[in-house]
Amino acid sequence: MSKVKQKITVSVIGSHNKSVKVDQLAHKTGNIIAKMGCVLVCGGLSGVMEAACKGAKEAGGLTIGLLPGISKKDANPYVDIALPTTIGFARNAMVACSADIIVALPGSHGTRSEISYGLVYGRPVIDLGNWKIKGMIKIAGIKELEKSLRTLAQ
C-alpha cells in the first residue's frame, strides 16, 4: 500500500484588528498559498484570518480554522473546515504545530505566542509583520513570499 502524500499546510497568523493595509497583505498571502496548492490554516476568526481565508478561497484553495470556542458558527465565512477546540488562546499552539510553514503578519501578543510556538516546534516562520524576532525568516515583502514558500515547501 502506498502512502498518500500530504498537502503542505501554511498557517497565517496575525491581528484580529482591521487595517486596510494589513487586510490587503493577508488577502494576497492567502491567494498565493492557494495558488501554490497548499492548505491555509489559521485561527478561523476575523481580521488577518478572514482576509487570508478570503484570498485563498478566491484562488480555489482549502482553508481550515482552528477556533478557540465550541461552535463552528464562530468561523469566518471563508473557512471550509471549522474545528472548534474549546481551549481559547491555547489553540495558538495548534495553529503553529499544524503548519509546515508559518507566515506571520502584523499582530499582538497572540501572534507573538504563535511565532514562539512555531520556532519551538522547529517550523519555518516567515516575517511579513516586521517582528524582528531571532530565528524568523525575514523577507522584503509580499513579492518575495511565493519564492520563499516554494523554497521551504521542497
Residue 2's pLDDT band, with cuts at 50, 70 and 90, is: low
What confidence score (pLDDT) does residue 1 get?
A: 62
% residues pLDDT > 70 (the chain): 99
Q: Give 53-105 pLDDT, tens digit per residue.
A: 999 999 999 999 999 999 999 999 999 999 999 999 999 999 999 999 999 99
Q: How many CB atoms lie within 10 A of CB 141?
A: 9
> By the 8 A CB rule, do 101 and 153 touch?
yes
Nearest to 102 by CA among 135, 83, 127: 127
List the grid coordinates of 43: 485561527
Say how far apart CA 91 and CA 93 lie, in whole Å: 5
Amino acid at residue number 124: P
CB 128 within 8 A of CB 145: yes
pLDDT at 3: 78
CB neighbours of residue 12 within 10 Å: 30
Beta bridge partners of 65: 42, 82
Using pLDDT thresholds of 50, 70 and 90, give the confidence band for residue 4.
Answer: confident
Q: Is the pLDDT of residue 48 over 90?
A: yes
All domains of the chain in start order, with CATH: 13-130 (3.40.50.450)
Q: Is the confidence at residue 113, as pLDDT, over 90? A: yes
- Angle, vertex CA 61, rays to CA 43 and CA 148, nearest 5: 80
Which stretches does DSSP call E strand in 3-80? 9-13, 39-42, 63-67
The pTM assigned to this predicted structure is 0.96
Burial pattern 17-31, b for ≥16 Cβ within 10 A else e, equals eebeebbebbbbbbb
Average pLDDT, the chain: 96
**What does the pLDDT average to over 33-60?**
98
